[in-house]
């Protein structure tokens, strides 16, 4: 790994840049446009948004105003929770394409496996029908890769009953002190790439003594150490910020490497990140 444009290869052969710029909680409008353009100026070529974030139009505007060729970018969006059936999912895909003003998405994910609007006796059927909509859009060339977010093994097993294509990505929360080993092992065995949202956790990492010591030892920021840890584990981190200096700072991950002992010290952290959402309990 040498730069932000280095790639992992998905199970369908698609290339995906190893770090993405996240836009969760980034307010729609000028703030989002400036943040995304700053990320592109810093070398990011992988952008992650979602209908649920409410900022797809701003992300699309930033892409157009950047002057960077669409073909050189990797753009991800996600299905909102109200669209868990075939027709609604098809409409949502078209809406994301329209709002982003792109002809295709490089990756499209089911945002949540079991959201409250579809949490009933037929939730498995809803999920299977939703996945079929993604498969059809993929076969039509509207989506270059398809995957999921916040899925655990039992959710994948529901898809496996009817799927024609296996998910290529699972975007879950992974950060120091919050690592779902069971889900990670399952995905790796199935050749499903793991994207790490909230790779810096909820902010508690910045006051952790171990992380402070490792940052000082490596002459790096705590955020850079977190992101480097993620990369060295083979995850794809999605850092986010609205501050231009931090966006730039978080891109400098390739001129240092954490030692084996450093990695072990971070791996041993537990419980410093607080609450992690449960896909079967959170009322999304």
Catalytic center residues: 53
Structure tokens at 210: 């171990």
* Sequence-ordered list of residues with C-beta below 8 angstroms from that of 15, at least 6 positions apart, any chain: 7, 8, 9
109 forms bridges with which residues in the sheet?
A: 78, 147
Residue with tokens 């700072």: 249
List 237's β-bridge partners, or say none: 196
E runs forming strands in 124-267:
146-149, 169-173, 193-197, 236-237
In the three-class reduction of DSSP (H, G, I as helix; E, B as strand; rest coil), residue 84 is classed as coil
Q: Give the number of C-alpha atoms closer than 13 A to the C-alpha of residue 156, restricted to the C-beta side.
A: 24
């Amino acid at each position: 790994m040498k730069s932000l444009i280095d790639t992992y290869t998905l199970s369908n052969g698609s290339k995906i840049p190893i770090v993405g710029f996240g836009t969760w909680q980034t307010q729609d409008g000028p703030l989002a446009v400036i943040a995304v353009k700053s990320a592109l100026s810093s070398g990011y070529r992988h952008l992650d948004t979602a209908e649920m974030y409410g900022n797809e139009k701003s992300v699309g505007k930033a892409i157009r105003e950047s002057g960077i060729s669409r073909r050189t970018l990797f753009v991800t969006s996600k299905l909102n929770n109200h669209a868990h059936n075939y027709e609604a999912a098809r409409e949502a895909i078209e809406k994301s394409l329209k709002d982003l003003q792109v002809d295709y998405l490089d990756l499209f994910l089911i945002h949540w496996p079991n959201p409250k609007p579809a949490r009933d006796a037929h939730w498995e059927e809803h999920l299977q029908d939703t996945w079929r909509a993604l498969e059809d859009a993929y076969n039509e060339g509207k989506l270059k890769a398809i995957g999921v977010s916040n899925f655990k093994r039992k959710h994948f097993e529901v898809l496996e009953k009817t799927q024609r294509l296996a998910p290529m990505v699972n975007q879950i929360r992974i950060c120091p002190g919050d690592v779902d080993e069971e889900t990670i092992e399952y995905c790796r065995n199935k050749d499903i790439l793991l994207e790490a949202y909230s790779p810096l956790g909820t902010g508690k990492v910045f006051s952790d003594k171990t992380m402070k010591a490792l940052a000082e030892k490596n002459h790096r920021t705590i955020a850079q150490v977190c992101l480097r840890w993620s990369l060295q584990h083979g995850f794809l981190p999605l850092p986010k910020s609205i501050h231009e200096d931090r966006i730039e700072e978080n891109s400098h991950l390739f001129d240092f490497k954490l030692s084996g002992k450093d990695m072990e010290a971070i791996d041993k952290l537990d419980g410093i990140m607080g609450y992690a959402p449960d896909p079967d309990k959170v009322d999304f």
